[in-house]
Chains A and B, each alone.
Chain A
Amino acid sequence: MTAQAHPLAAHAGRRRFLTLATAILGAVGTAYVIVPLVETLEPDASVKAAAATTVALVPIEPGMQVTVPWQDKPLIVVNRTPEMLATLPAVEPLLRDPSCAVPQQPPACRNRFRSLKPQWLVMVRVCTHLCCTPLYKPRKGSVGPRWLGGFHCPCHGSLYDLSGRVFKGVPAPRNMAIPVYHFSEDEKQITVTAMYPESKLC
């Protein structure tokens, strides 16, 4: 604004060049400072260390559900009885995604039971509609006269079967998410390590 009228053109060119050089250096430097500064806001190592949780299976009686807080979400482990497992094929015509085509579970869990072992359901109990926590309703007829057991969301009435698969005609779009987990060698406990990256909670 002030420096337009200088007699020496070469001098003005040098000045323009040096101003530009300083501006570029300043911008590059600022960018290099901003990146680490913003990265400080990422979850820290103590949060990451608490990312995995281990649940003992022995105290979970048949038909019982255990809820543990994991990554600020309700993680459930359900010990499903053979009768409960028998309801799964029966409800399939009524489900939105009975074959689990949407990747709401790790590939190893893409089956009717949505689990590594049919007996054990390990799931994040968060409704895919608007993030409410569905209720565990295992008893037959507890939600409606033809109810065979499953999960019922109190917020907007979404319904899921005992594998967390969503029924047709309810607001929730997808099956509930199955995290990445593995059994211990003695099969007495499971360790949940991560949310399956492609799954969506709500």
Chain B
Amino acid sequence: MIARLSVLFLALAVVAAHAAAQTTPLLSPPAAFDRATIRRGAQWFAQYCLSCHSVKWIRYDRLTRDLGFSKDAVRQELMFPGGAHFAQGMVPTLSARDAAAWFGVAPPDLTLEARLRGGAWIYTYLRSFYFDPTRPSGWNNHLFPDAAMPNVLAPISGIRDAKGRLIQRGRLTPRQVNQVIGAITVWLEYTSDPSKLERERLGPYVIGFALLLSVVAYLMKRAYWREVS
């Protein structure tokens, strides 16, 4: 717990330091790193992102082991009909060459994105889209100006102008949208290091064992050293 807290504290400090250096302040996602949130994030991701972006290092079958999805749920909710193989990585049906032709750049693989940019960056980025008629896609982004990516979440988030005013309402309330984006962020944090779930499960036992070993070794040392004057 203390280890976790201190890590959290350090992470906050790092985020704060980064935030101070950014022109657009980074927001922290309103979502916890737990299986339920990651599962929701995976579903939103499959629905809105996976048609262009791969997370190629994540194989579908590991989602059943890591996240508690049933095999059928993975097939129905995450995999595209036809094409994808259960033991293969999550790769869109859209080919990288077609995508490059449409967007100007190939949509990057997002497996490691959260490691590179951090969760707060992803969360803020997805919230920073605005309508910009001067751009070919009609979209621009406060955090990443002239991004090639359109605001794929517009159907649920609605459309905002550069000043943040809502031009057109989406299907969900702003609060719900933030939770969706938060869940997608947590999902990408999971994909960037799936070992985190396992590490946090095993950590207390491993550290507890090391502590026990230290205590017993210390008692042994004292028993031997009693005779050293």
Q: Please judge, given known A-B contacts A45-B62, A49-B87, whether A3 and B224 are in contact too, CB under 8 Å.
A: yes
In the complex, which residues of chain B have a beta carbon less than 8 angstroms from the beta carbon of A15?
220, 223-224
A21 touches B223 (CB 8 A): no
> B59 contacts which of A3, A29, A45 (Cβ < 8 Å)?
A45
Count of inter-chain pairs, beta carbons less than 8 A: 38
- Complex Cα distance, B61 from A21, in Å, reads 42
Q: Which residues of A contact B4 (CB under 8 A)?
A: none
Determine if B216 and A49 form an interchain contact, defined as CB atoms under 8 angstroms apart: no
Give the complex CA separation of A51 and B213 in angstroms: 43
From A6, A11, A45, give the contact of B87 (CB < 8 A).
A45
Task: Give the interface centre of A19, A48, A49, A52 by most chain B CB atoms within 10 Å.
Answer: A49
Contacts of A22 in B (CB 8 A): 213, 216-217, 220
B99 at the interface (CB under 8 A from A): no
Provided the pairs A22-B213, A26-B213, A45-B87 are in contact, do residues A14 and B59 lie with their beta carbons within 8 angstroms? no
What residues of B have a CB within 8 angstroms of the CB of A52 in the complex?
Answer: 87
Q: Decide if A29 touches B213 in the complex (CB within 8 Å).
A: yes
Q: Is A18 an interface residue (CB 8 A)?
A: yes
- Taking CB atoms, residues of chain A closer than 8 Å to B217 are 22
CB–CB A25/B59 < 8 A: no
Would you give the shortest CB distance from B229 to chain A, in whole angstroms? 14
Give the contact-size bracket for chain B: 10 to 19
Cβ–Cβ contact B219 & A18, under 8 A: yes
Rounded to whole angstroms, the CA-CA distance of A13 and B88 in the bound complex is 59
- Are A25 and B216 in contact (CB-based, < 8 A)? yes
List B contacts of A49 (CB < 8 A): 59, 85, 87-88
With A22-B217, A45-B87 as given contacts, are A14 and B212 in contact (CB-CB < 8 Å)?
Answer: no
Contact A6/B213 with A18-B220, A45-B59 known, Cβ cut-off 8 Å: no
Query: Given A48-B87, A49-B88: A21 and B226 within 8 A (CB)?
Result: no
Cβ of B9 within 8 Å of any chain A Cβ, yes or no, is no
Contact B220 A21 (CB under 8 A): yes
- Per-position binary interface string of chain B over residues 73-111, scored 1 when its CB falls under 8 Å from any chain A CB and 0 otherwise: 000000000000101100000000000000000000000
CB distance from A96 to the nearest CB of B (A): 37
Q: Does B209 contact A (CB under 8 A)?
A: yes
Interface string of B200-229 (1 = CB under 8 A from A): 000000000100110011011001101100
User: What's the nearest-Cβ distance from chain A to residue B219, in Å?
Assistant: 5
Distance in Å from the Cβ of A124 to the closest Cβ of chain B? 21
The interface residues of chain B lying within 8 Å CB-to-CB of A51 are 87
Encode contact with B along A49-60: 1 for CB under 8 Å, 0 otherwise: 101100000000
A-B contact pairs, 26 of them (CB 8 A): A14-B223, A15-B220, A15-B224, A18-B216, A18-B219, A18-B223, A19-B220, A21-B220, A22-B216, A22-B220, A25-B212, A25-B216, A26-B213, A29-B209, A29-B213, A32-B209, A45-B59, A45-B61, A45-B62, A45-B87, A48-B87, A49-B59, A49-B85, A49-B87, A51-B87, A52-B87
Q: Name B residues whose Cβ lies closer than 8 Å to a Cβ of A.
A: 59, 61-62, 85, 87-88, 209, 212-213, 216-217, 219-220, 223-224, 226-227
